[in-house]
Amino acid sequence: MPTSRPRRPPETDGERFAVIDPATGEAFDEAPDQQPDALDAVIDRAHEAWRGWRADPATRATALRAAADAVEAAGADLAPLLTREQGKPLAESYAEIARTAARLRYFAELDPGPQPIADGRPVRSEVRWRPLGPVAAIVPWNFPLQLAAAKFAPALAAGNTMVLKPSPFTPLATRLLGSVLSTALPEGVLTVVTGREPLGARLASHPGIRHVTFTGSVPTGRAVAAGAAASLTRVTLELGGNDAAIVLDDADVERIAERLFWAAFRNCGQVCMAVKRVYAPARLYPHVVEALARCAKAAVVGAGLDPGTQLGPVNNAPQLARVERYTARALADGARVVAGGHRLDRPGYFFAPTILADVPSDSPVVTEEQFGPVLPVLPYRTVDEAVEAANDTGFGLGGSVWGTDLDRAEAVADLLECGTAWINHHAELSLAQPFAGIKDSGVGVAGGPWGLYGNLRPFVVHRPEEARPTEA
Ligand code: NAD
């Protein structure tokens, strides 16, 4: 049963691995390096806990509301730890914690009650939604808590239990979150495991798991799907993006520049649905490039714990090397640096916010997901050409259109091949909306009631209508 005292996260006798502060590039703590064979006992406990947890929706909803309160109350412990291991400004860590609590509250109120089937036959048929069992959640390092909550809030609300594995780059805030949630949830309902590969691979392919919900890169998503296929386990994959923003020729450049800039650079550009390419009409092109460069030069880059920081470091050394590689290749391809373009001369994984102009459309910084503080700006001649370029990608997460005539902008947005399109903003999601990337951006639907049903299976009961008593 839930306790008001947090349960300590499970310790292991074995190895631990270092956790790096990206603002210094140095280790500041360690996390348990749990081995794949430890999962058998964890998943057994998740099955045990499922018996009680699936029984009563009202009890679950009460526990999830209490969990949301506990997360908010722990904000002052969670936020600095999240910033320390992830790099984002402290205010953004607090916002992430608020979104974690909001998700718990939202899903606590969703009730997948029975649904009658009306087909004209004299049969009373009903769909009753049943939970699946233990769910495995594997998440990346860019929003460790909020992306975990996007998985555990609907899964637990649906009556499942969960084993949650954070990225080895950001294990600590998630471990603390698990401990905080244990004050409101029965033992075994949510277990956080930390460790390096092949822990995730084993979790994704474990035969005791009934649903694997993964957020991360496309190559890992493919590996997860292949692993889950062995036991034909259901998968939900939320993968990468290469979102385009199309600026129309009636856009008020000065008015939109800052919002467009932050849609690309928030969390140091490490957002799956960040703006990763800007298409501007030839007439406005110099103005758009110059306005974005002005924002890049004005952004305050620093350690996330320093007051006033707007942009933290890149999260980890391989990711920083990736950003440098894409930028160097763009320059070799003929791009022009208008702002940034280099690492900062200080310890840690800092890269100056970078605006690239005159980038060839086939340079990898345009065609692939670079996932960092770099933004290529490309000119176009006709709107048709811009839409074609925006859609000419293997990804399909989001996209946006920026202009003054909202009807015209919406008509252009309607042509984007992706899961979510925005007008004059980007990457702001509603808890109540379906979130579903197309093409390489994902499989399945998260968010809103659709996210809840993704964690349920339909069970159908048919019974004949009551026989009428025969008249005497
Ligand atoms: P990643 O794919 O390298 O890792 C994601 C998670 O998978 C981590 O926990 C990692 O430890 C684990 N993992 C690694 N190898 C594994 C394996 N073989 N089997 C199972 N698990 C394994 O991704 P990342 O670098 O941590 O995150 C960045 C990526 O995540 C970007 O592509 C970004 O677009 C994507 N992302 C997508 C969304 C979305 O909602 N669509 C949201 C955030 C991030």
For 118-170, write each residue's pLDDT tens digit.
Answer: 999 999 999 999 999 999 999 999 999 999 999 999 999 999 999 999 999 99
Mean pLDDT, residues 359-366: 98
Distance CA 139, CA 212 (A): 11
pLDDT at res. 1: 45
Quote the pLDDT of residue 466.
78
Where does 248-356 have alpha helices with state H?
253-265, 285-298, 317-332
**Residue 67 scores a pLDDT above 50:** yes
Mean pLDDT, residues 164-186: 98
Instruction: List all residues 6 or more positions away from 61 whose beta carbon is below 8 Å from its beta carbon.
Output: 108, 109, 157
Q: For atom 19 of ligand 1, which residue has the closest CA?
A: 201
**Residue to substitute in 163, 172, 217 for testing ligand 1 pocket (most ligand atoms within 8 angstroms of CB):** 217
How much distance in Å is there from the Cα of 132 to the middle of ligand 1?
Answer: 23
Q: Two tokens at 172?
A: 């600590």
Average pLDDT over residues 334-339: 98
Rounded to the nearest whole angstrom, what is the distance from the C-alpha of residue 308 to the centroid of ligand 1? 30
3-state SS, residue 186: coil
Nearest ligand 1 atom, CA 140? 26
> pLDDT grade, residue 8 (50/70/90)?
low
Q: With 60 as the cut, is the pLDDT of residue 471 above it? A: no
Average pLDDT over residues 350-355: 98
Q: What pLDDT score does 356 carry? A: 98
What is the predicted pLDDT for the residue at 472? 47
What is the b/e burial string over 334-366, where b = at least 16 CB atoms within 10 angstroms of the residue's CB? ebebbbbbebeeeebbbbbbbbbbbbeeebebb
Query: Residue 10: what pLDDT?
Result: 55
Instruction: Mark residue 173 as left, alpha or beta (left: phi above 0; alpha: psi -120 to 50; beta: remaining).
Output: alpha
Length of the chain counted residue by residue? 472
Nearest CA to ligand 1 atom 22: 200
Distance CA 441, CA 432 (A): 20
- The catalytic position among 96, 238, 368, 369 is 238
Tell me, what amino acid is at 249?
D
Amino acid at 134: P
**Rounded-to-integer distance, Cα 379 and Cα 272, Å:** 23
- The answer to whether residue 7 scores a pLDDT higher than 80 is no
**219 CB contacts (<8 Å, ≥6 apart)?**
none
pLDDT tens track for 203-257: 999 999 999 999 999 999 999 999 999 999 999 999 999 999 999 999 999 999 9
Ligand 1 pocket test, candidate residues 103, 138, 151, most atoms within 8 A of CB: 138
Q: What is the pLDDT of residue 213?
A: 98
Mean pLDDT of 46-63: 98
- Indicate the angle between helix axes 57-73 and 144-157, nearest 10 degrees: 160
Pocket of ligand 1 (CB under 6 A): 138-142, 147, 165, 167-168, 197, 200-201, 204, 215-217, 220, 223-224, 238-241, 272, 369, 371, 397, 437, 442
How many other CB atoms are found less than 10 A from the CB of residue 88? 26
DSSP string, 49-87: HHHHHTT-HHHHHHHHHHHHHHHHHTHHHHHHHHHHHH-
Confidence of residue 107 (pLDDT cuts 50, 70, 90): very high
Distance CA 62, CA 60 (A): 5
Non-local CB neighbours of 339 within 8 Å, separated by 6+ positions: 292, 293, 296, 297, 352, 353, 354, 355
> Atom 34 of ligand 1 has which residue's CA nearest to it?
240
Residue partners of 30: CB distance under 8 A and separation at least 6 = 16, 17, 18, 19
Count of CB atoms situated within 10 Å of the CB of 70: 22
Confidence of residue 2 (pLDDT cuts 50, 70, 90): low
Mean pLDDT score of the chain = 96
Per-residue confidence (pLDDT) for residue 12, from 0 to 100: 56
Distance from residue 420's CA to the centre of ligand 1 (Å): 20
| 219 CA → ligand 1 middle, Å | 9
Confidence of residue 14 (pLDDT cuts 50, 70, 90): confident
Catalytic-role residue among 272, 295, 368, 418: 272
* Structure token digits, residue 36: 């794949």
pTM over 0.75: yes
- Is the pLDDT confidence value at 3 over 90? no
User: How far is C-alpha 220 from the geometric centre of its chain's CA atoms?
Assistant: 15
295 is known as an active-site residue:
no
Of all atoms in ligand 1, which is nearest to the CA of residue 143? Answer: 43
pLDDT per residue over 386-418, tens digit each? 999 999 999 999 999 999 999 999 999 999 999
443 CA distance to ligand 1 middle (Å): 14
- One-letter amino acid identity for 451? G
> Strand 123-131 and strand 115-117: pairing?
antiparallel
What are the tokens at 189?
Answer: 């309902």
Catalytic residue flag (residue 11)? no
> Could you tell me which of 305, 288, 279 has the C-alpha nearest to residue 412?
279
Are 153 and 107 a contacting pair, CB within 8 Å?
A: yes
Q: What mean pLDDT do residues 71-82 have?
A: 98
Ligand 1 atom closest to Cα of 220? 2
- Residue 468, pLDDT above cutoff 80: no
> Positive or negative, the Cα torsion across 33, 91, 350, 293?
positive
Gap from CA of 148 to ligand 1 centroid (Å)? 12
Residue among 164, 205, 215, 370 whose CB has most ligand 1 atoms within 8 A, to mutate? 215
